[in-house]
A and B are shown apart, each in its own frame.
Chain A
Amino acid sequence: MQLTLEFGGGLELLCDSVKIHNINVDPQDGEKQMTMKNLLTWVRTNLIKERPEMFMKGDSVRPGVLVLVNDTDWELSGQLETVLEEKDNVVFISTLHGG
């Protein structure tokens, strides 16, 4: 399954400062669908190069990170249970406080 992942608000620093990643990922053994929960595990293993605690807490993202699936807050699509589809766009963005 092809997905586009984007990191912003400083999260890109955790993956070699690369903001956009076009990835190919498939559901784990025995699972038919790719959920956000699976994707987070994949991202943590394959893309996050340093300080994973700045990206995840438990099995979800850390507080202060917004997750957008096709430009919509993942709260509206089922958070970790959101089922991803071919060519979906997933954005991880850290909230900014500066001004």
Chain B
Amino acid sequence: MDSNGAEASRIREEIESLKANKRNIEQQISALEAQLNQLEVNQVEEGEVNSNALCTSPLSNGELGNSNGLSPDMIYRYSRHLLLPSFGVQGQANLLKSSVLVIGAGGLGSPALLYLAACGVGRIGIVDHDVVELNNLQRQIIHTEAYIGKSKVESAAAACRSINSSTQIVEHKEAFHTSNALEIVSKYDVVVDATDNAPSRYMINDCCVVLGKPLISGAALGLEGQLTVYNYNGGPCYRCLFPTPPPTNACQRCADSGVLGVVPGVIGCLQALEAIKVSSLVGEPLSGRMLLFDALSGRIRIVKIRGRSLQCEACGEHPVLTRQTFPDFDYEKFTQTPLSTGPLKLNLLSQDARISSKEYNERVTKGEAHVLIDVRPAHHYKIVSLPNSINIPLSTLEGRLSEISAALEKEADKETLDGGSGASLYMICRRGNDSQRAVQLLHKAGFTSAKDIIGGLESWAHNVDPKFPTY
């Protein structure tokens, strides 16, 4: 027992000694940490003095950059904002704490993202599933040639980070769907709709209403743009204004109708502005009003729009759309428009009324007597066309059937010399939709042999002549 007792007391002494050592080491660690902190503070202050080379007053040492929560780097970076009496430290501090989700990194999203990254929004999310293409670069100014073929989100995120490494950039490389919308949007304070189609616009609106997020909505096409803020401070939502979706043929796409690059640029910049106002709690956001931009005539008009509708299916008194029903709402069916922006592919004709671009090429090579009518609008025809094609736009086709008859007769005359049996009649357009409509019209008008060239000039470029320009 005695030997055991001696052993225990030796162990206790050893424990006490180790504990004393531990306290000593802990004190040394604390002292060193304090020393390190002091060194870091001095370093930051020196940096501040260096970057503000003219600011050598002793008053600038010490508390500067601490009381308002802005670091010296932030004060310098955002100094032009801080100098604005109506924006100032409070506006910037609010912005730094806020988060903005930009849906679509295209013509509207490009300038919006650049400004949002530059201005110091704390966290920016970017949603897009597309890749950068050469024909985007005319307006989608956030992307560069080096990113052609790569994800738009990756490209946009890299550009934002290179402007402002202190802003957190979150990449959502996925299509925006009812299945992921609630989860993504719930992580942000403000949403910027920079998409390009009707179903997405309804979906984003409803998601914002369900989650109570202000929505900065912009749109541009051709030489016109529109801008407003929905679901903000008791104001209307998109559905209050447009409870019924427009007919599908009223929804033009930039890929079909064209757009002057700077037009979405202007609207995208204004979207950034509205997002900044909402996030920083400065100014009067464009809620209950809409800005209409007509680039060609140089007119901007701001109009008063209706208030929130009590009957609205999204934000009214008895909403059909709720957090529960939203994920199951079929936006493509509602708007009769696909969410993906891919071109329409009609299939109106039977197989014997159509031929492939390859087959057409073979027939031309064999010297078949034929007439090729290009039914695209005249300004498309001027961009590029196939040799020997005749341009009769679909909209004028019905009134110009005699020209087709004359052309067929002329070809048939050549043919009879070789003992053939009349000339063939082919219709072509950009992608093979209008050419089918033209063939339908011609069949009804008695030109029963008319055929369309499947996939149009795009198919020609893809399958026959890779050097043929596409647009």
Chain A residues in the interface with B (C-beta under 8 A): 8-10, 19, 53-54, 62-66, 68, 71-73, 75-76, 91, 93-99
Contact = CB atoms under 8 A, between A and B. Distances in A.
B371 interface: no
Q: Is the interface of B mostly helix, strand, loop or mixed?
A: mixed
Interface residues of B, number: 46
Interface in B277-325: 290, 292, 294, 297, 301-306
Contact of B221 (A66, A72, A76, A97): A97
Contacts of A62: 246-247, 250
B264 interface: yes
Contacts, number: 106
Given A64-B250, A98-B257, 7 more contacts: A19-B294, A73-B305, A75-B305, A95-B219, A98-B107, A99-B194, A99-B196
A66 B292 CA distance: 11
B214 interface: no
B391 interface: no
Contacts of A91: 292, 301, 303
A59 to B, nearest CB: 15
A10 B246 contact: no
Contacts of A9: 221, 224, 226
17 contacts: A54-B250, A62-B250, A63-B242, A63-B247, A65-B246, A66-B241, A68-B303, A73-B304, A93-B226, A94-B250, A95-B241, A98-B221, A98-B264, A99-B106, A99-B107, A99-B195, A99-B220
A95 B195 contact: no
A98 B247 contact: no
B250 A8 contact: no
Nearest to B199: A97
Interface in B216-236: 218-222, 224-226
B303 A95 contact: no
Contacts of B264: 98-99
Nearest to B259: A98
A8 B247 contact: no
B246 A95 contact: yes
Nearest to A11: B250
B219 A97 contact: yes
Give 4 closest A-B pairs by Cβ, nearest first: A64-B246, A98-B221, A63-B244, A96-B219
B251 interface: yes
A72 B306 CA distance: 8
B292 A93 contact: yes
Contacts of B247: 53-54, 62-64
A10 B306 contact: no
Contacts of A71: 301-304
Contact of B225 (A65, A73, A76, A96): A96
Contacts of A8: 224, 292, 294
Nearest to A64: B246
Contacts of A76: 304, 306
Contacts of B305: 66, 73, 75
Interface string B188-219: 00000011111001000000000000000011
Contacts of A93: 226, 292
Contacts of A10: 221-222, 250, 252, 257
Nearest to A51: B249
B219 A73 contact: no
Contacts of A64: 242, 244-247, 250-251
B109 interface: yes
A93 B222 CA distance: 14
A94 B267 CA distance: 17
A63 B245 contact: yes
Nearest to A95: B242
Contacts of A95: 219, 226, 241-242, 246
A97 B301 contact: no
Contacts of B224: 8-9, 96
B304 A97 contact: no
A16 B292 CA distance: 21
A99 B195 CA distance: 6
A75 B257 CA distance: 30
A97 B303 contact: no
A59 B151 CA distance: 47
A19 B298 CA distance: 13
